[in-house]
């Protein structure tokens, strides 16, 4: 039997945080053996907000190197750049005629980004979920591993797939979001009731995958903790709980185990231990990423072969779609 298909992507905008790593990329690595995986660098999504062209180009390669450094194996998974496979834009156009303006204007992320970028509410921003649906449906993906914030987008992809299938006959696999557990929500180090974000204004709020050891340790030292001195996870202690969650995610241990380990210890010692654990986990990834970025030809080859593989799968679906909707494709 064919393996199930997994699709996911990250935008090459901004620096990734440990939240992105724990919530997305680290889980993708585990899925590679059991599934047929397509992992993309969503540069077409990225331009829906203003990007500096040179920076977008640089970040695309950095993200490719990071994927591999985190353990995505380009022999197993198709690792590619979205714009290298023209079918994404082509299917998006078809799906645009199935998607309603009303439903797109109600999407949470569209509303948030419209507020944040009020001077640039462009068509692409509103079309973002349709392009994302095209990404997923092109590969007939069953599962889409994403963070909870992307669940609504996967649901729209489901709706569009079902609507298209009803209108034109069975064409698309209806995808399911795969919200992976274990990755507790990673929150800001400065406002621990808010999600850690790559676009936080306060650089001390987020740990970026590119932060060096001293920076990581310094940010953890400055992390907001709670009143009292006990190191336990509870709703009354969002700061301590967040640090414990981060510690457990990197140590692969349970909250109870971590609480026991830090029993009777002070906040200072605790924060240093969390900082060192995270720095220890990031440094091999950073070294590997730097090594990969030093060989642009090799990276280019990998992205080309990933795009070839994606292209073949995408072409099959698009041709089926064109047939169903009545686009003449020759005799
Ligand atoms: N919107 C996703 C994010 O910002 C990135 C993305 C683009 C994606 N296309 C996708 C995720 C397809 C899953 C599937 O995180």
CATH of the domain at 271: 1.10.240.10
Which ligand 1 atom is the nearest neighbour of the CA of 42?
Answer: 7
pLDDT of residue 181: 65
Ligand 1 center to residue 153 CA distance, Å?
Answer: 8
Total domains in the chain come to 2
Tell whether 276 and 321 lie within a shared domain. Answer: no
Ligand 1 center to residue 42 CA distance, Å?
Answer: 7
Tell whether 135 and 17 lie within a shared domain. Answer: yes
Tell whether 90 and 127 lie within a shared domain. Answer: yes
Task: Please pick, among 185, 198, 251, 324, the residue that the annotation labels catalytic.
Answer: 198
Would you call 265 a catalytic residue per the annotation? no
Which ligand 1 atom is the nearest neighbour of the CA of 7?
Answer: 14
Ligand 1 center to residue 315 CA distance, Å?
Answer: 20
Mutate to test the pocket of ligand 1, among 92, 129, 132 (most ligand atoms within 8 A of CB): 132
End-to-end CA distance of the chain: 32
Going by the DSSP 8-state scheme, the letter that residue 80 receives in this structure is E
Residue 65 lies in a domain: yes
76 and 306 Cβ atoms separated by less than 8 Å: no
d(CA 201, CA 194): 13
d(CA 311, CA 307): 6
Tell whether 278 and 169 lie within a shared domain. Answer: no
**How many angstroms separate the most distant Cα atoms in the chain?**
78
Task: Please pick, among 113, 219, 237, 271, the residue that the annotation labels catalytic.
Answer: 113
Tell whether 176 and 240 lie within a shared domain. Answer: no
d(CA 97, CA 85): 21
Task: Please pick, among 76, 151, 185, 195, the residue that the annotation labels catalytic.
Answer: 195
For residue 136, the SS3 value is helix
Ligand 1 center to residue 224 CA distance, Å?
Answer: 30
pLDDT of residue 49: 95
For residue 120, the SS3 value is helix
Give CA separation, 202 vs 197, 199, 211, in Å: 10, 9, 14
Tell whether 66 and 154 lie within a shared domain. Answer: yes
Tell whether 307 and 174 lie within a shared domain. Answer: yes
Ligand 1 center to residue 104 CA distance, Å?
Answer: 16
Ligand 1 center to residue 111 CA distance, Å?
Answer: 17
Residue 50 lies in a domain: yes
Would you call 195 a catalytic residue per the annotation? yes
Which ligand 1 atom is the nearest neighbour of the CA of 149?
Answer: 15
pLDDT of residue 183: 60
Query: Which own/partner contact pairs does 239-248 have at CB distance under 8 Å and 24+ positions apart?
Result: 239/192, 240/267, 240/270, 241/192, 242/186, 242/187, 242/188, 242/189, 242/192, 243/270, 243/271, 243/274, 245/184, 245/185, 245/186, 246/18, 246/22, 246/186, 246/274, 246/278, 247/273, 247/274, 247/277, 248/184
Of all protein residues, whose CA lies closest to atom 8 belonging to ligand 1? Answer: 9
Domain that residue 165 falls in: 5-184+296-325
Mutate to test the pocket of ligand 1, among 14, 20, 42, 176 (most ligand atoms within 8 A of CB): 42
Tell whether 300 and 286 lie within a shared domain. Answer: no
Of all protein residues, whose CA lies closest to atom 6 belonging to ligand 1? Answer: 9
Residue 197 lies in a domain: no
Give CA separation, 259 vs 184, 187, 223, 237, 241, in Å: 16, 19, 18, 13, 10
Tell whether 286 and 305 lie within a shared domain. Answer: no
List, for the chain, all residue ranges whose pLDDT scores fall below the cut of 70: 1, 181-184
* CATH number (domain holding residue 51): 3.40.50.620
Tell whether 20 and 130 lie within a shared domain. Answer: yes
Of all protein residues, whose CA lies closest to atom 15 belonging to ligand 1? Answer: 10
Ligand 1 pocket, CB under 6 A: 7-11, 42, 45, 132, 135-136, 144, 146, 150, 153
Q: Look at the chain and count its residues.
A: 331
Residue 69 lies in a domain: yes
104 and 121 Cβ atoms separated by less than 8 Å: no
Tell whether 315 and 179 lie within a shared domain. Answer: yes
Residue 204 lies in a domain: no
Would you call 198 a catalytic residue per the annotation? yes
């Amino acid at each position: 039997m064919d393996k199930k298909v997994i699709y996911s992507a990250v935008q090459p905008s901004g620096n990734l945080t440990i939240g992105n790593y724990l919530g997305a990329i680290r889980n993708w690595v585990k899925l590679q053996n059991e599934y047929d995986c397509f992992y993309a660098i969503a540069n077409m999504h990225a331009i829906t907000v203003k990007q500096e062209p040179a920076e977008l180009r640089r970040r695309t390669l950095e993200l490719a190197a990071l994927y591999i450094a985190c353990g995505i194996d380009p022999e197993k998974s198709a690792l590619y750049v979205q714009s290298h496979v023209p079918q994404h834009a082509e299917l998006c156009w078809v799906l645009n005629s199935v998607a309603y303006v009303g439903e797109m204007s109600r999407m949470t992320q569209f509303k948030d980004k419209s507020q944040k970028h009020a001077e640039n509410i462009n068509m692409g921003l509103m079309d973002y979920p349709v392009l994302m649906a095209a990404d997923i449906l092109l590969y007939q993906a069953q599962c889409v591993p994403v963070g909870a914030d992307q669940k609504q987008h996967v649901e729209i992809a489901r709706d569009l797939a079902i609507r298209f299938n009803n209108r034109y006959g069975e064409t698309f696999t209806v995808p399911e979001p795969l919200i992976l557990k274990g990755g507790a929500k990673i929150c800001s180090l400065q406002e621990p009731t808010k999600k850690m974000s790559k676009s936080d204004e306060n650089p001390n709020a987020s740990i970026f995958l590119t932060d060096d050891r001293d920076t990581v340790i310094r940010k953890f030292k400055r992390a907001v903790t709670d009143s009292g001195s006990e190191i336990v996870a509870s709703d009354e202690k969002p700061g301590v709980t967040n640090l414990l969650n981060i510690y457990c995610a990197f140590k692969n241990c349970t909250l109870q185990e971590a609480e026991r380990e830090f029993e009777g210890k002070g906040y200072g010692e605790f924060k240093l231990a969390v900082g060192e654990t995270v720095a220890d986990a990031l440094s091999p990834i950073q070294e590997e990423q730097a090594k990969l970025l030093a060989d642009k030809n090799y990276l280019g080859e990998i992205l080309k072969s990933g795009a070839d593989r994606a292209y073949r799968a995408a072409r099959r679906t698009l041709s089926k779609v064109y047939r169903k909707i009545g686009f003449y494709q020759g005799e």
